[in-house]
């Protein structure tokens, strides 16, 4: 029971952090907000998009929102600027959750920074991944280009 309560508290905290990772519509956020290919990027939210159809699904990148990750964990994209698979910031949000086996295997949990990190831990059974955004997370489908981080 204590483990379930602890997980619920962790998930709530991570959802709050994930929601803060995205810039307000029209306002650039040049602080680290999303990891892509091992690099932290800023964002500029622009618009919620309709669900894709069979002819445009490939034009969306996957954004993994890790709801019970390490402190400082940002959402992770499957590709970023400079990667030939990057689609310019059209996102299909997925929810990633560390499994009990993953939590036991790592103390502390690592910060995931790339698609390769996500897939490594998924293949090990350390992450469960579900299509769709977690409650309080970003929209399921949205546009939000990645911007270089600027340290003032």
pTM: 0.81
Q: How confident is the model at residue 25 (pLDDT cuts 50, 70, 90)?
A: low
Long-range contacts at 25-29 (CB < 8 A, ≥ 24 apart):
28/147, 29/147
Residue 3 pLDDT: 37
* pLDDT at residue 141 tops 80: yes
Q: How confident is the model at residue 152 (pLDDT cuts 50, 70, 90)?
A: low
Residue 85 pLDDT: 95
Contact between 78 and 85 (Cβ < 8 Å): yes
Q: CA-CA distances (angstroms) from residue 109 to 6, 34, 77, 88, 124?
A: 15, 18, 19, 30, 14
88-132 pLDDT, tens digit each: 999 999 999 999 999 999 989 999 999 999 999 999 999 999 999
Per-domain residue ranges of the chain? 2-148
Residue 76 pLDDT: 98
49-100 pLDDT, tens digit each: 999 998 998 999 999 999 999 999 999 999 999 999 999 999 999 999 999 9
């Amino acid at each position: 029971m204590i483990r379930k309560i602890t997980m619920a508290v962790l998930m709530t905290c991570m959802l709050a952090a994930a929601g803060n990772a995205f810039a307000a519509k029209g306002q650039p956020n040049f602080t680290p907000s999303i990891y892509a290919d091992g690099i932290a990027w800023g964002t500029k939210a622009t618009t919620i998009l309709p669900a894709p159809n069979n002819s445009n699904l490939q034009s969306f990148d996957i954004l993994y929102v890790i709801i019970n990750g390490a402190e400082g964990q940002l959402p992770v994209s499957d590709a970023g600027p400079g990667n030939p698979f990057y689609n310019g910031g059209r996102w299909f949000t997925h929810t990633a959750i560390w499994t009990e086996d993953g939590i036991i295997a790592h103390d502390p949990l690592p910060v995931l920074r790339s698609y390769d990190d996500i897939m490594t831990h998924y293949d090990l059974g350390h992450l469960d991944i579900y299509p769709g955004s977690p409650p309080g997370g970003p929209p399921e489908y949205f546009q939000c280009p990645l911007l270089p981080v600027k340290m003032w």
